[in-house]
């Protein structure tokens, strides 16, 4: 196990540097000049020679005149020291700028992932056990419909019904403006604003996961060892959860771990529709404003999360299924 983990970590480091160089090169080949973008606001106040001097100095400070390989080495050296540079748009270090959107994304995604898993896993198992029953057929139709509807359509429907017609929840935003109260009241107000985007994210993810769990459980329940377990007189709950679900978990575990890792990723559509300042919306804003230091930092964070997720998934296979053994 130890040798395998060391090999995988070395592989992850190699992939990390390759992906970082590719992304850095792609971002630096995007049309546009970040130096000119920064000076655009003061261009009308400067004389042509003053503007040109400041422009050339800014390009030199940003290292834009160096070849891409040299710029990459300098950039990666700073990253390894914990310095992701400054945000051109906010004039602050990137790590400071990213903190709040990341907190907001984690805040909403923790609730969404836990709620979705709490619904889809029992529902998928029950549908597999009651396969071809009326309940199973109804759930399958609903999951297909839910899986087929785009998230922005679900968002519009929920906003119209629960915010415009029923007035149960606010249309958008993260908190009530100028609200003053105790920490508990502020937290409850934030949960109130969280309700609609949370419901949209949960409903949008139910269809695919429910069908996946049902398919894995249906395959497991059709195996001979399930018939043997029932012939031995084991209780049905023991057969379902100790035998069938344990074996069905192997193909499902990739999705489950992926969902937990998605806690750190933003949903661009939901965050934009509900004006939620999360990682997805923040990433697109940084691209639109050519704030590439922020965009690159977010991309590198996602690369690290993905690589760690793949390692956790592979190691989890050996824990869930004794037949799977990690190469010693």
Q: Give residue for tokens 């109130």.
A: 192
Domain architecture of the chain: domains with CATH: 94-320 (1.10.3720.10)
Both tokens of 60, joined, read 């030199």
Structure tokens at 61: 């400070």
Give the separation between CA 54 and CA 48, rounded to whole angstroms: 10
- Identify the burial level of 145 via C-beta atoms within 10 angstroms of its C-beta, where 0-12 means exposed, 13-18 middle and 19 or more buried: exposed
Torsion sign, CA atoms 13, 15, 17, 23: negative
Percent residues over pLDDT 90 in the chain: 6
The label of the residue with tokens 């419909």 reads 145
pLDDT of residue 184 exceeding 70, the answer is yes
Tell me: pLDDT of 219 over 60.
Answer: yes
Q: Output the pLDDT for position 323.
A: 63
* Angle at 50 (CA atoms; ends 46, 53), nearest 5 degrees: 135
Q: How far, in Å, CA of 89 to CA of 165, rounded? A: 38
Q: What is the C-alpha to C-alpha distance for residues 44 and 119, in angstroms, rounded to an integer?
A: 58
Write down how long the chain is.
328
Q: Report the range out of 166-180, 257-271, 292-306, 313-327 with the highest average pLDDT.
A: 292-306
The 10s digit of each residue's pLDDT in 115-149 is 888 998 899 999 998 888 999 899 989 888 888 88
Is the pLDDT at 64 greater than 60, yes or no? yes
Phi, psi of 81 (to 5 degrees): -95, 5
pLDDT at residue 265, as a whole number: 65
The model's pTM: 0.75
């Amino acid at each position: 196990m130890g040798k395998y983990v060391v090999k995988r970590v070395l592989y992850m480091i190699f992939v990390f540097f390759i992906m970082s160089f590719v992304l850095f090169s792609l971002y630096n080949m995007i049309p546009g000049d970040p130096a000119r973008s920064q000076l655009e606001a003061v261009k009308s106040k400067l004389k042509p020679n003053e503007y040109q001097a400041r422009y050339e100095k800014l390009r030199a400070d940003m290292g834009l005149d160096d070849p891409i390989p040299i710029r990459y080495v300098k950039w990666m050296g700073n990253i390894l020291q914990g310095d992701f540079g400054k945000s051109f748009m906010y004039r602050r270090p990137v790590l400071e700028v990213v903190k709040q959107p990341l907190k907001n994304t984690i805040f909403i995604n923790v609730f969404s992932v836990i709620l979705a898993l709490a619904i889809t896993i029992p529902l998928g198992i029950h549908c597999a056990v009651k396969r071809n029953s009326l309940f199973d057929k109804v759930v399958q139709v609903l999951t297909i419909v839910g899986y087929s509807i785009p998230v922005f359509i679900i968002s519009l429907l929920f906003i119209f019904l629960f915010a415009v017609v029923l007035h149960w929840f606010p249309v958008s935003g993260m908190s009530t403006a100028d609200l003053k109260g105790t920490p508990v009241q502020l937290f409850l107000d934030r949960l109130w604003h969280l309700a609609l985007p949370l419901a949209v994210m949960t409903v949008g993810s139910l269809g695919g996961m429910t069908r996946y769990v049902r398919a894995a459980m249906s395959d497991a329940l059709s195996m001979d060892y399930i018939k043997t377990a029932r012939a031995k007189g084991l209780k049905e709950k023991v057969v379902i959860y100790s035998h069938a679900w344990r074996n069905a978990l192997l193909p499902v575990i990739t999705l489950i771990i992926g969902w937990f890792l998605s806690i750190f990723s933003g949903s661009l559509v939901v965050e934009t529709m509900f004006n939620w300042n999360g990682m997805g919306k923040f990433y697109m804003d940084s691209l639109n404003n050519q704030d590439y230091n922020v965009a690159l930092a977010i991309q590198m964070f996602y690369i690290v999360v993905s690589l760690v997720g793949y390692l956790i998934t592979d190691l989890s296979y050996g824990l869930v299924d004794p037949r799977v053994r990690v190469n010693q």
